Amino acid sequence: MAGKKKQEKREKKARAKAQMQQQAQAKVAKKVRKAKKRTLTEGKVYIQSTFNNTMITITDNQGEVVAWSSAGRSGFKGSKKSTPYAASLAAKSAATKAVDMGMTQASVWVQGVGSGRDAAIRSLDAAGLHLGEIRDITPLPHNGPRPRKARRV
């Protein structure tokens, strides 16, 4: 009688262990997802150039991000991120990803006042994208907030 109970207990443990292994394999199978290959011919390039960094985002015409890069992602740190050279490398890496997907034409939307604006545009052109229109969408203040009081010297 006692031997029968021990045997049932062992079988129950073995079933539970097998079930846990199956669940673990199912979790691993769920995490591995193959990215779908996109092919597109035209899109938009958004260049956001700040005083500290330059970010390039390439989207299709619906607005879904195809490729992106930034000066920080290109390996620059600190004040070197705000240089035109860093912006050109970031634009080049994003553009090569988009060209690999088949993009040939793009319209450029530039925002911000950083030093990497022009360098990024030149680098996009050199990477093989035909730039249709270049728009500046930097927000401009319409008289802005109330100024500080005048200094008394």
Residue 64 makes CB contacts below 8 A (sequence gap 6+) with: none
Paired residues of 59 in beta bridges: 44, 65
> What tens digit of pLDDT does each residue of 1-37 get?
667 788 888 888 888 888 888 887 776 655 556 666 7
Hey, what are 2's tokens?
Answer: 């006692």
Whole-number mean pLDDT of the chain?
90
Please tell me the pTM assigned to this model: 0.72
Domains and CATH numbers, the chain: 44-136 (3.30.420.80)
Residue with tokens 């997802």: 33
